[in-house]
Amino acid sequence: MGLKTSIGGQLLAYPRISAAVEMRMISAMRLALAASTLLIVWFASPTSNQFLPATYFTLFSYLLYSLFFYLTSIRWPSGVPIRFLHWIDLGWYVLLMTLSGGLDSNFFFFFFFSILSASFTRGFSSGLLMTIISALLFILLAYLSAPTPANVDMHRFLFRLVNLFVIGYMIAYWGGVETTLRARLRLLNEVSQLSNPRFGVDQTLHAMLEKLRAFYDADTCLMILPKGAAGPHQMHRADRNIRSNNLPVEMTEETAWMLLLSSPTKAAIYRKSGRDKGLLYDVKTGAVTDGKANTAPLFNAFEGKSCLTVPVDNRDQLLGRLYVLGGRRSFTIGEIDFVLPLTKQLIAVLENIRLVDRLASVAAEHERRKIGQDIHDSVIQPYIGLQFGLSAINQKLERGDRDVTKEIKHLLDLTEGEIKELRQYVGDLRRGQSSQNAFLPSVRRFAEKFSDATGLQIEIESSDSLPINDRLAAELFKMIEEGLSNVRRHSNSTFARVAINQQNSDIVLQLTNHCRKQFKPLSFMPRSIADRATALGGQTSVHVDENNDTVVSVKIPL
């Protein structure tokens, strides 16, 4: 498995070593150390040691202890008390040193195993504490094992004590660095994994602030960001032991001005104790200056809590500021170097959520408009055709002609056909797919039914080898439906022509009908057809040809 993080926008892979894997490795090394030590003492130990049988028994017990925790780490890794095992190991080593000579015992070097375990599992503070306790126990054993204090071999005593302190401190330091880096990488990974648009910006930002607060074990984590492009600033907040509704709080201009600081490119650290209580860090130059006088009024407003604050920017444009307040940790300049890229990653995640949300909104709006046009063309238009048929029957009845059986049967047939098409349309809409019928046969069938219902003569001109995909075919079909309906409703023409051809890399659809001389064809534009053409990247135009026919021409790029 790999742990991914982002530093400066670049994804880096880092091996994620879980606590279970760490415990298994440490348990295996403990078992190897116990087994090898028992064999060495068995075959190469001096016979003059009066405590040799007790040493054998202790080593054999330590071997069983190591074997037990090794098997436990394999079968039940979560049941191993990883927090306390290095202290139990230290007790074993003190007992072995007591039985084997105290100051001169070779089991002295086992102290480093406890220091390593503590440092690389619990961090610097635990490793340093283990080093100090080990040194104190070594001093105590050295004096208790000597007949008199004057008989202590000071050369060996000081040499081992200094080595224990120096090497132990280095182990604790590098162990702390390694555990800190792993914790930071895990936090960056969690921040990147929170990029889920369905949670929204406010909930995602609150979750990120809570993770950052928990990482530093701080009391509060604040982020001040503007509302929109030029709106007022808002405060997003995560507090210890306080559940909020994830909603930001709008700030007054005075409060926002105070929290944003007068130096937008400066990060700041305030400590409750120590020589350098207030430090300013220029994020552009890296210069560190004393900022106690400049930042004291602000940090007094936070009741003197330890504080880390960094500017939040996006592509060198200042947006706001992040604050980490309180807790037991004392912030350092190195924390700024970590939090700065973290804020950039956080802003990138939020921008991604906003972009996806905006794209989804645009897509939904486009789909609503498309469905509205489909309903207009596929549902309303058939009703208009039925209205024409019923109007003709009504006129016939008004003239006294009661023989309308044929017309009614014809309308029933048309109604049945339209119901089938509507059911097919609804089924395709549910499945999210378009009809799989051939485009031109569908157009010809529709033209035939439309001609039967309205009496309008329709001529179809097209090639059977047009490179038309499903979406384009569906849109062209709707345009033809709308165009023929417009001819029937808005003109007295008895003839219409539908021509579909390919010109270079464009599909050209032309709807032609005979126009009366007094009609002004250039004064109108079929809006539904034009909207569909625009959505496909095409153009719509209306003109009169040499035969005084009105031509609606649609050109769509392939």
Q: What is the pLDDT of residue 17?
A: 46
CATH of residue 517's domain is 3.30.565.10
The verdict on residue 235 lying in a domain is yes
The verdict on residue 31 lying in a domain is yes
Residue 548 tokens, joined: 């005084």
Same domain, yes or no: 35 and 87: yes
Same domain, yes or no: 16 and 86: yes
Whole-structure pTM value: 0.55
Same domain, yes or no: 114 and 227: no
The verdict on residue 401 lying in a domain is no
Same domain, yes or no: 65 and 168: yes
The verdict on residue 196 lying in a domain is no
Same domain, yes or no: 251 and 339: yes
Q: What is the pLDDT of residue 431?
A: 58
**How many C-alpha atoms does 230 have within 13 Å on its Cβ side?**
0
Q: What is the pLDDT of residue 112?
A: 92
Burial of 460 (0-12, 13-18, 19+ CB in 10 A): middle
Same domain, yes or no: 227 and 341: yes
Domain boundary among 325, 340, 357: 357
Q: What is the pLDDT of residue 521?
A: 47
The verdict on residue 328 lying in a domain is yes
Contact 544, 512 (CB under 8 A): no
Domain boundary among 357, 383, 406: 357
Q: What share of the chain is helix, strand, coil (3-state, %, to 5)?
A: 60, 20, 25
Q: What is the pLDDT of residue 336?
A: 83
Put residue 362 in one of left, alpha, beta given phi > 0 → left and psi -120 to 50 → alpha.
Answer: alpha
Residue 524 tokens, joined: 């109108």
Same domain, yes or no: 107 and 185: yes
Q: What is the sign, positive or negative, of the torsion defined by CA atoms of 330, 332, 338, 341? A: positive
Q: Which residue in this structure is represented by tokens 């719509």?
A: 540
Domain boundary among 326, 357, 388: 357
Q: What is the pLDDT of residue 173?
A: 92
Q: Residues in the chain, how many?
A: 558
Domain assignment of residue 99, given as a range = 2-190
Identity of residue 321:
R
The verdict on residue 208 lying in a domain is no
Contact 530, 540 (CB under 8 A): yes
The verdict on residue 523 lying in a domain is yes
Same domain, yes or no: 447 and 549: yes
Q: What is the pLDDT tens value at each position of the chain, 558 positions in all?
A: 333 333 333 333 333 445 677 778 888 898 999 899 888 888 776 555 556 788 888 889 999 988 988 888 887 766 666 677 888 899 998 898 888 877 778 888 899 999 998 888 888 888 999 999 999 998 888 888 776 666 677 888 888 899 999 999 999 999 988 888 888 888 887 777 666 555 667 777 888 888 888 888 888 888 888 876 666 788 888 888 777 666 778 877 777 777 777 667 788 887 776 665 778 888 777 788 776 666 666 667 777 678 888 888 877 777 888 888 887 777 888 888 888 888 888 887 777 777 766 666 666 666 666 666 566 555 565 666 666 677 777 777 777 777 777 777 777 777 776 677 667 666 665 655 544 445 777 788 778 777 776 778 888 888 767 777 666 777 788 888 888 888 877 777 888 888 888 887 788 888 888 765 444 445 567 888 888 888 888 888 888 887 788 888 998 887
Same domain, yes or no: 84 and 174: yes
The verdict on residue 53 lying in a domain is yes
How far is Cα 300 from Cα 298, in angstroms, rounded to an integer? 5
CATH of residue 232's domain is 3.30.450.40
Residue 400 tokens, joined: 């006294």
Same domain, yes or no: 24 and 172: yes
Same domain, yes or no: 180 and 36: yes
Same domain, yes or no: 300 and 184: no
Contact 357, 197 (CB under 8 A): yes
Count of structural domains, the chain: 3
